[in-house]
C-alpha cells in the first residue's frame, strides 16, 4: 500500500520496525510515509476520546490504539454501515434542484 498522501511506495526497512505509520483517514485505513509524517496538515481521523491519530480500521469499526475507544466507521454518513471505504461524493443538493427546474421547463411550468 503506497503513502495515501504522496503515493510513495513503502520500501523494506533495513532493520527494525518500519518508519511508516498507519492511520485512518475518512474511515479508510491508510499508510503515511516518514516524509509526510513531518507534515502538520495530515488529514487523519482522530480518536474522539483522546484525539490520538493511532487508529486502526477494520470490519466497519475504527479502534483507537492509544485508549481502546471504538467507534463505527461511517459515522455521520447516515447509517453507520461503513466498510472502511473512502467516502463517496454524494449528489449535491443543488443538482437535485437543477434537475427539478429542468423538468419544470420541459413540462411547461413556470
Q: Which residues make up the interface to Zn ion (CB under 5 A)?
A: 3, 5-6, 8, 33, 36, 47, 49-50, 52, 64, 66-67, 69
Q: How far is the CB of 43 from Zn ion (least distance, A)?
A: 12
| CB nearer Zn ion, residue 1 or residue 50 | 50
CA distance 23 to 42: 10
CA distance 51 to 1: 25
Q: How far is the CB of 11 from Zn ion (least distance, A)?
A: 12
Q: How far is the CB of 63 from Zn ion (least distance, A)?
A: 9
- Cβ-count burial 47-67 (b if 16+ within 10 Å, e if not): beeeeebbbebeeebbbbeee
Amino acid at each position: 500500500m503506497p503513502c495515501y498522501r504522496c503515493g510513495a511506495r513503502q520500501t523494506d526497512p533495513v532493520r527494525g520496525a518500519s518508519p511508516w505509520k498507519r492511520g485512518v483517514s475518512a474511515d479508510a485505513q491508510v499508510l503515511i510515509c516518514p516524509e509526510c509524517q513531518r507534515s502538520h496538515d495530515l488529514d487523519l481521523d482522530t480518536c474522539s476520546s483522546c484525539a490520538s491519530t493511532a487508529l486502526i480500521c477494520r470490519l466497519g469499526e475504527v479502534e483507537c490504539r492509544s485508549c481502546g475507544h471504538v467507534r463505527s466507521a461511517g459515522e455521520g454518513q447516515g447509517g453507520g454501515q461503513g466498510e472502511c471505504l473512502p467516502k463517496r461524493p454524494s449528489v449535491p443538493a443543488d443538482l437535485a434542484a437543477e434537475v427539478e427546474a429542468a423538468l419544470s421547463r420541459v413540462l411547461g411550468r413556470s
